[in-house]
Structure 1
Amino acid sequence: MNMKKLKKTLVCLALLLCIVMSAVSCAEIFVTDGGNKTNQSQNGGNSSSQQFERENVDAINYNITVSNAELGKQDLETVIAEIRTSVVEIYSTVSNGTSSGSGVIISISEPNDDGNRHALIVTCQHVIDGAKSVVVRTVNGDNFNAAFVASNKKSDVGLISIEETEDLKFTALSTASFADTSTLGIGREVLAIGNPLGVLGGTVTRGIVSAIDRSVSVEGRKMTLIQTDAAINGGNSGGGLFDAETGVLVGVVNAGVESATAQGLSFAIPANTVTAIITQLLDKGYVEGDYDFGVELAVKYTRSQGRPSVFGYSYTYTYYVCIDSLDEFGTFYKAGLRANDIITSVKIANEETLTLDGTANQSVASQNLTKLQDYLLGVYKVGDKVELTYGRGNAGDIEYKNISFEIMQYVN
């Protein structure tokens, strides 16, 4: 199982902070992207031949419903039977293998000219991030190759679609209706349905809403999530958190806490947040006002050869905070920064300038790395001014430049 461990712990949750401080790496929030499979043919079922390419959303009419009583109050078995057919398994092929997750069908279109329908599926952005191809497996075991629709990293919401073919139809599939989570209360009974561990598709777990506006930081993204004690494991990401009485979709599961001493701490993106994001993604392809610096940082060093001695040459090492990788749609890449560039100072908006000089002490460089990561997590907005000094080149021949640019709208 390949879980993406998060570098940040819960914000505004003193209990978990105490757990993290008192035990070594024992309580971490993880995005539940699930178990790996080395070969997608292991999934079984039938398969279509569509590639994971961007879908032309304008050509398809998707209707998304919001209702707090779509199914009415029913017994638990009936509710599960109704909503389970809207949940799918997702298997993504990425550069280092395959990963698994879950998704929820939220709309099925009218037939196109070929008589085939499209199904719109909401999942988590991290489930499909970097995917070269995506296979969706429905509740009846059929496999459809998916098309990319849109995604938003900040909210962790992703949209993909599947299309019927001559041989594969949407047999016995249903669509989920979103709840209005402004009326959601603590103690509401909920059901989590997903694909835990990447091998247990359609698994149903039961719990209650523990908090409706829990502030957490997930992989550097500050989010307000629903907290529940329904069991969540790797592979559940993108699956549904449903109202146990009415069957409406309360949230999209995206994170849990992995700990030897803490249980029953799971999280989902609220339905109202998801619908707001989806509306913009379908309308524009991006979320207005959203930005992403799009940078991964690392400590790297330059080495200078010293004077020879009887023991050979001595070397002087200088450690820097450097750019490790970049998102080509992010602000830093668009501003002209590239991998291996050295960052020595940055000032954003009205914040104080953060200086990050090179140092012979690797520990100090690691502290500088953390400072810059925290600095970039500040509350900024599109259009804020960034002043940055960076260096580019090899040891002894590094050219430093001062640049100024604005935080840019993120559109991928």
Structure 2
Amino acid sequence: MNEHLNNQTNEQYFNEYSIQEPQIKQRPPKRSRGKKALAVFAAVTVMAACSVCGYLGGVYANGKAQENGNSANLNNSSNNSNVVYMSNNTSPVNSEGGDELSISEIAAMAADSVVEIVVQSASDTGYIGQTILTGAGSGVILTQSGYIITNNHVVEGADSINVRLRNGEEYEAKLIGTDSKSDIAVIKIDAENLTAAVVGDSSLLQVGELAVAIGNPLGELGGTVTDGIISALDREITIDGVNMTLLQTNAAINPGNSGGGLFNGRGELIGIVNAKSSGTDIEGLGFAIPINDAMSVFDDLIEYGYVSGRVDVGMEMLEISDTATAYMYRVSQLGVYVYSVESGSYAQSAGLKAGDYILSVDGKEISSLADFNSAIDAHSVGEQVEISVLRGKTVHDFTITLTEYVPNAHSSSV
């Protein structure tokens, strides 16, 4: 049984997955399980565009790919041998070679690989009883046999996951694995001969290239196509205490687009949409996980059910960033606290306790969850970290050995 910091509110699963103010009366502060959290922040407030809908979809069919002079190559991995990669055309789509497609051609090729995802979760509302909450997002089919990539925040906490194809067919999906740090999840439906997206190479992208988004904004407008450009590469944003390096686009992204794809001018999948900017007078700031990053997670989730090599500090952390939350948790300082300590972990044996206020990691001052995660992420499994905490009025120093993060269940049916 994990000891935990007293909390007077329960985390709720809400319809709109948003890092902006959600559609609930109260939201708990950001939590992280060491390396395992997710969050958002750039120069603007960033919001996860997942809940009510899905974002972008599929990609090139093999025939059309060969028509354009590209050869579709199958990855040799036994786990994703049906994933198609467009790898031998390395010239930008806006070069004089001119193999860029029209937006309507990209939409026609990609539409069948875009799926709508509907999730349900039971929420205990106390004296009112149990309430079933529903959310929606998108996913992209990556294999003909039914493996689908989406965002972790689309399916996180779901008791059931259902997928609707473009042709209207509906399937119950099995959760294969999730990774909150990268915001990637893999689900599987029992179907064959599906239209899968062709995976591009996000390392070849150039600022100004065409970017096309196909998705299900607001959970009701499946198949919506928006276009824009790649506005920036390697944009660093912080989402729920985790630093992410994302693609930036001005293609219209709306709540519900999360988990869908971002495509280049050849119709290749080059990103998985996961966030957008939100706020007064903010327009055209959408973000996507580069497909090269997403695919490495995809492979691990299929093989292991989790991402191998991730370190685990053995604690769940809690960031308190405003006085109202500090009052709710009955603490006096803003910053990062130990929310719970895992039974049997190195953190527990070292003496760390719930309620400890984090001062520093390896001598580096910690003022936010992003600071803490970055300091932990700088280490590998088996290495040690020095953590200084304030407990009451006394400073304590601890040395913790980092283990590999392995979820309790590598995969589950929902």
What is the TM-score of this pair, normalised by structure 1?
0.68
Q: Does 1:405 align with 2:403?
A: no
Q: Does 1:86 align with 2:113?
A: yes
Contact preservation (8 Å) 2:80, 2:143? no
Name the structure 1 match of 2:291.
271
The alpha-carbon distance between structure 1 residues 233 and 331, as it changes in their structure 2 partners (threshold 3 A), is farther
- Mapped partners of 2:260, 2:344: distance in 1: 27
1:86 deviation in Å? 0.2
Matching residue's letter, 2:228: G
Name the structure 2 match of 1:67.
86
**Equivalent position SS for 1:187:** coil
**Equivalent position SS for 2:295:** helix
1:132 deviation in Å? 1.4
Q: Does 1:145 align with 2:172?
A: yes
Instruction: Percent identity, please.
Output: 32
1:180 deviation in Å? 1.1
Contact preservation (8 Å) 2:386, 2:397? no
* CA deviation string 1:360-381 (max 9, x = no partner): xxxxxxxxxxx25354133332
Name the structure 1 match of 2:216.
195
The alpha-carbon distance between structure 1 residues 408 and 350, as it changes in their structure 2 partners (threshold 3 A), is farther
Consecutive unaligned residues in structure 2, runs of 5 or more:
1-14, 21-29, 31-38, 54-76, 94-98, 124-132, 408-414
- Mapped partners of 1:236, 1:301: distance in 2: 35
Contact preservation (8 Å) 1:209, 1:226? yes
Name the structure 2 match of 1:48.
none
Consecutive unaligned residues in structure 1, runs of 5 or more:
12-16, 18-26, 37-57, 110-118, 304-316, 355-370, 393-397
What is the TM-score of this pair, normalised by structure 2?
0.67
1:350 deviation in Å? 4.2
1:75 deviation in Å? 3.7
1:220 deviation in Å? 1.6
How many residue pairs are counted as aligned between the two chains?
Answer: 324
The alpha-carbon distance between structure 1 residues 297 and 146, as it changes in their structure 2 partners (threshold 3 A), is same
Name the structure 2 match of 1:343.
356
- Mapped partners of 2:402, 2:115: distance in 1: 37
Question: Is 64-73 or 221-230 further displaced after alignment?
Answer: 64-73
Name the structure 2 match of 1:373.
369
Matching residue's letter, 2:174: A
Name the structure 1 match of 2:198.
177
1:187 deviation in Å? 1.3
Contact preservation (8 Å) 2:232, 2:248? yes
**Equivalent position SS for 1:32:** coil
CA RMSD of aligned residues (A): 3.7
Q: 1:35 aligns with which of 48, 52, 62?
A: 52
Matching residue's letter, 1:377: N
Q: Does 1:4 align with 2:21?
A: no
Matches within 5 A, 1:64-143: 64-67=83-86, 73-96=100-123, 97-109=133-145, 119-143=146-170
* CA deviation string 1:186-226 (max 9, x = no partner): 11112111121111122111111111221111222111111
Which has more radius of gyration?
A: 1
- Mapped partners of 2:368, 2:347: distance in 1: 14
1:146 deviation in Å? 0.7
* CA deviation string 1:103-160 (max 9, x = no partner): 0000023xxxxxxxxx000001111111111111111122211111112221111111
